[in-house]
Amino acid sequence: MATALRSLQLIPSIPLAPHPTPIDELTRLRAALGPECPRLLMKRDDLLSFGQGGNKVRKMQTVAAAAQQEGADMLITCGGVQSNHARVTAATGAVLGMQVVLVANGARPQPLTGNARLNALFGAEVGYVASREERNQTMELVAAEARAEKKHPFIVPLGASTPLGAIGFARGVEELVTSPHRPAAIVHSTSSGGTQAGLILGCALYGVKTSIIGVSADDPSAVLTTTIAELLFGAASLLGAQPASIGAHSPIVVDDAFVGSGYGVPTPASTEALALVARTEGIVLDPVYTAKAMAGLIARVRSGVWRRDETVLFWHTGGVPGYFV
């Protein structure tokens, strides 16, 4: 275990933003949710000071280091038109002097908005495809063309949700252990699985006893739990750890009850959560990911899942440019 933690800390990483991010206490949101509400904290990864922040910055720090080690001069990745991950990849390429090609499924917004607008600002090229299914093949084509031109492309899979990306995120748990806070639960948005795998891994290695609840923005729970377990097995192998010692065999909690009618489509609960957090705390959530995760937290508070003397931490994974779409 100690060796695996050491390996986690030693994996090469490019510091894209200073850490730690703040952990804010949400006293007004707590008051608004009534006398039985537990103590509420928020880990402010939305404030990571690189490329407009968010969870993808943590994952990109280890993934970009691997790209650099391989001598890459080009990053290729994919996502939806408003992908936060694509935007952070665009910013990473800009600072590392690498060309960036993004494969986005959907139509080019006219005019460019939110993350799509930031991608252009960071200097990335964007190729649009009609469906999610075309993304991987298109990335391979772009990479093959680049190799033919003697370039060194590096494909970053969707969401940087690879074992290495999860390791990048897991390091963030050190910021929790070095804080005075010991939450009974951590609630966050989950979609491609790397953040949740990182939290499970980090909590196991840093000895944080808490329940980790991923609220899906998208896929059914059964699909995501399998993906997260696979990421944990991959991370265990990179770190030379037993999968069980990093939580790969423990139950993985993904709640898919807050997706509503689909990815990015607001629900009454997510719209309420977004407005309530803004009007009590002056904090902006995003409609695609964090507002749905906060709706999951609020529903649990209202149904009395936690005692009022317990602490619950909401990990704000960013995505705020998505509000301006």
Contact residues for ligand PLP, defined by CB under 6 A: 54-55, 84-85, 159, 161, 189-196, 286, 289-290, 317-319
Least distance in angstroms from the C-beta of 289 to ligand PLP:
3
Distance from C-alpha of 280 to C-alpha of 278, rounded to nearest angstrom: 6
Least distance in angstroms from the C-beta of 286 to ligand PLP:
6
Least distance in angstroms from the C-beta of 125 to ligand PLP:
21
Least distance in angstroms from the C-beta of 48 to ligand PLP:
11
**What residues are paired with 23 via a beta bridge?**
43
Structural Rg of the chain based on CA atoms: 19
Least distance in angstroms from the C-beta of 73 to ligand PLP:
26
Rank residues 54 and 172 by Cβ distance to ligand PLP and give the closer one.
54
Rank residues 37 and 199 by Cβ distance to ligand PLP and give the closer one.
199
Least distance in angstroms from the C-beta of 273 to ligand PLP:
14
Distance from C-alpha of 276 to C-alpha of 2, rounded to nearest angstrom: 42
Which of 7, 13, 49, 83 is the catalytic position? Answer: 83
Q: How far is CA 95 from CA 77, 123, 168, in A?
A: 16, 11, 18
Rank residues 118 and 146 by Cβ distance to ligand PLP and give the closer one.
118
Rank residues 153 and 168 by Cβ distance to ligand PLP and give the closer one.
168
Rank residues 61 and 290 by Cβ distance to ligand PLP and give the closer one.
290
Kindly state the tokens that stand for 9. 């800390």
- Phi, psi angles (nearest 5°) of residue 9: -75, -20
Residue nearest to ligand PLP (CB): 319
Among candidate residues 70, 211, 205, 200, the one with its CA nearest the CA of residue 143: 70
> Does the active-site annotation cover 161?
no
Rank residues 65 and 166 by Cβ distance to ligand PLP and give the closer one.
166
Active-site residues, by number, are 83
